[in-house]
Structure 1
């Protein structure tokens, strides 16, 4: 193994063992992947969410090399030379590299760089990074804004269910109307086989999570701090239920405190992880409009529920419909069609009443079974191509069936062929 793939102070096998203690049932494929995961852990503790400098350097040089530069005596000029040698698509200035290195060095966790793994093991949290097979590739559509790692409470084998999910977001101080719509929408979408994604806050978020849990469907809550910091405190019991029966996710290591900036950056993960985002109720200054903005930037389907024209609590939804081309949705059927226009209206009885029933002790959850076109499209990402043999293995379809499905989806401009394989258009 090359020196740049090592982390000083600990042998590769010991690092792999540490990662294995908090990784899902499927282990990391090899020691190099485990070491990269540990490096991402340290860098995620040293950088704030959405730090594009950190993600772009990791993409160009690899996480261990970047961590070695941060923990060692590497100068900005040396990092710049490494970037030029790697033919990185974007080369920052020396001044920007100097500021980034100083920023990360000042935030490195005290003690060993792998300390967050030990805290995670203490609270029962799991680690997933891009090196792991369960990594939700939809978040890679954020490009250099993607998270370095994700910490999870709940069964990580539920992560593939996010490939068919809807984010329901809205006001924390929701009206009775807003909470009612959130409950009905989450229940209806759950019955149609969609996982429900939100942010664990009061109001619309909490109503959506409760309805999904009552419908025995997987729900995922993205937190602004660590997965051990259940915030807000008033939703403590609800979030513990989500951790038990669904997924609690965060990009910051356990122990991290939620802040206003981290809430805003958390919203991009809600939008990226979901097939579509629906704003149920939002005032003119609601934070859920930030989530809607991320969904629009990613090209994800965006919907908004109209409210009474006299209600200030719905001013944000009306503005999204009027000025930002959000689709007006009023029923779970319309929301399902927005999220999955290629055959969303499948008989939910064919899917089983519970997403959790698709979990077993010796196999990870897969996206719901359905028509070949849907199964192929669910395995595609807008940022990373997949070739026909890979798609055939992931969908359990024959190569001929995959090729036929790609042809139909291509005719609908839903997918496109790139240099590295097929991608979502």
Structure 2
């Protein structure tokens, strides 16, 4: 089976051929005809890890896909979006079983980053990010375990959200690591991102945008050394500019990005082995080299490693609770240390970038926190996003602060 057999032709390599342009067994909208659906006519692209009625859930691996039954119904997150007026357009490419941040798939190839065609789009929700960035879709549904929404959103210059862990139903979806996986999504503007949050959480925006400017914004000093020099200079300049109208503070709060990222990788790997270990062990030769190596490592994680990592996680949760406790506090920081690597970067270079990025991404991952990334700036023509992180369950406020910040920086 060739890549041409797997991909819908053209379209930046974002879509898999199976299911593009039609939706078997689509349900009629469950909205009063007298009302305009919230997501009326918004085009929806769905990462190929969600069940779609009448189709197989591919997970980025053709052997995995061929072993799956035809889905009997749509995943709840997909159903909710369709019921509120979204229009299905197709399934999108994912890194294999979502176990990568690179956006590279040995079977499907690398979707082309519309914002920086010589650079990778990021993964694992690569196809959904590219579909939105290229204008084929208005909403790109994906998942985020270790950064699979936030990283490609930053690389492709669009909005993305990782909600509070467990807040959005993940039924009918291939998960990687149960205590970290979340349903997430992309859009080209914050208003649509908020509309989708309202639909999927059955909620409303909790903080008016005019009130968001009263929030306390903090920048953990531990993050600054992780940034590449030009990104750090631009971020510090931005913070200085914001201080005339925002409460923004540099703080030392005991965050430990390096050890937290190590603990995250161990705990994630242990959960991956628990969830997919037997199948992966029997099919290691079907994975691309980078994903194969990651699965092989996950299968060797010991009880002692897990116990040590869990102690780090407990300490991280305590520190995070102190950071957000008692006040309307939000962390603001660049989403990643730097822009996307070039598509011809070596595997070692991409792996190094992944590990460095995880030191920033693991904060929300370990804490189960909501994080919104939005377009901020660019270097060498490639985007870099800015992020807002908040307390668990405070998703609407995090998004409101991000939208207010985006508007302030655009002035």
Q: TM-score range by the shorter chain?
A: under 0.3
Structure with more of its chain in strand, by fraction: 2
Considering Cα pairs closer than 8 Å and 6+ residues apart, tell me whether 1 or 2 has the greater RCO.
Answer: 2
Structure with more of its chain in helix, by fraction: 1
TM-score (norm 2): 0.27
TM-score (norm 1): 0.26
